[in-house]
Structure 1
Amino acid sequence: MTQPPSDSVKHRTRASYTYFLTYRTRWSDNDQYSHMNNSIYYHLFDSIVNTYLIERCGLDPGSQQGKGNIGLVVESHCQFFSPISFPDVVDLGLRVTKLGTSSVSYEVGVFLTGKEGVAAVGGYTHVFVDRESRKSVRIDGEMRNGLNGLYTPTPKL
């Protein structure tokens, strides 16, 4: 997946995103350099995407055990612009940048509470497949409607 130039991503604002979730950092999120460990950003991306899928797209993880369709992450990325560390509180902004027949690409903006500019921008691509066969499936129904509600084209700068 081709990423936009760093300077355009760096200038994302809250207005670039349509859904938000707040996260309070934990002491254990810090690495040896006293800022949030890179792996925590991916934890946050996964948390906001799955919260949205549960709240707005009909995903019910409890009823999907052993059957149905699942989303597999096939690509991920993150660009870091300013440090975050405990005890910061961050707001995560989410949008869909691409919605295909069986795949969806998400972008997450990480903002320090009270700040307009992003501290980091990242995301990933899900391909939806049948849990058993691992063959791709169409995104339709409530899932497609919910993801369409999150779709916003890349902002022009």
Structure 2
Amino acid sequence: MTAIGVLRNRLRSNYPFTLAYRLRWADNDQYGHLNNSVYNFLIDSVVNSYLIERCALKPADPSNTDPIGLVVSSQCNYFSSLSFPQVVDLGLRVSKLGNSSVTYEVGFFAQGSNTVSAVGGFTHVFVHPEQRRPTTMVEAMRAGLTAIHNDLDAPYFPTAKL
């Protein structure tokens, strides 16, 4: 099976953390389905929700000197359409975990469905908040990310052949 085929067969159970999101009318594009840019917004939302809830991220604390994650790459593969007024369940897992970087994978599921509609994600590199140079992530961050790290078959973010 190709890497794209493996992603197309992802199940809810592949993602240890989920977040529900009710799509808005404004999320649809002119063709009546979820705009591509909204997928990126939702990937960012589920990742940061997890980091705040489970990894001690404090984005609104001006005294925080912990490393911050900067997105260095992103990708999304689409398999079926989503649109308003659906509720989408966003499944999150960590596919790669290094000392200063992490790659997240997000599965998009229409509520009540076990069939993935899209699989996307991005890679964070943790940097010093002022110097912006890569640095090791703090232990609380690593512990939270380790909790949702699982190695599934297929390379992350394969390129589809057109």
Structure 1 residues 68, 142: CA separation in 2 closer, same or farther (over 3 Å shift)? closer
* Residue among 19, 22, 27 paired with 2:20: 22
SS in 2 for 1:146: helix
**Residues paired across the two proteins, number:** 153
* Residues 65, 119 of structure 1: alpha-carbon distance in 2 compared, 3 angstrom cutoff: farther
The answer for the alignment partner of 2:77 in structure 1 is 79
Aligned to 2:61: 63
Corresponding position: 1:7 with 2:5: yes
Q: Which amino acid aligns with 2:6?
A: S
Query: In the superposition, relative to structure 1, how do residues 64 and 117 fare at CA in structure 2: closer, same or farther (>3 Å)?
Result: farther
Q: Tell me the distance in 1 between the aligned counterparts of 2:97 and 2:143.
A: 11
Between the aligned partners of 2:103 and 2:152, the Cα distance in structure 1 is 12
Q: Distance in 2 between the 1:144 and 1:19 partners?
A: 16
Q: Which residues of structure 2 form unaligned runs of 5+?
A: 155-162
RMSD: 1.4
Structure 1 residue runs of 5 or longer lacking an equivalent are none
CA contact (8 A) 2:99 2:137 kept: yes
| 1:67 CA displacement | 4.3
Counterparts in 2 of 1:48-59, with a 5 A limit? Answer: 48-59=46-57
SS in 2 for 1:51: helix
Percent identity among equivalent residues?
52
Residue in structure 1 matched with residue 120 of structure 2 by the alignment: 122
* Deviation of the 1:68 alpha carbon: 3.7
Structure 1 SS opposite 2:60: helix
Residue type at the aligned position of 1:90: V
Mapped contact 2:108–2:117 kept (Cα < 8 A): yes
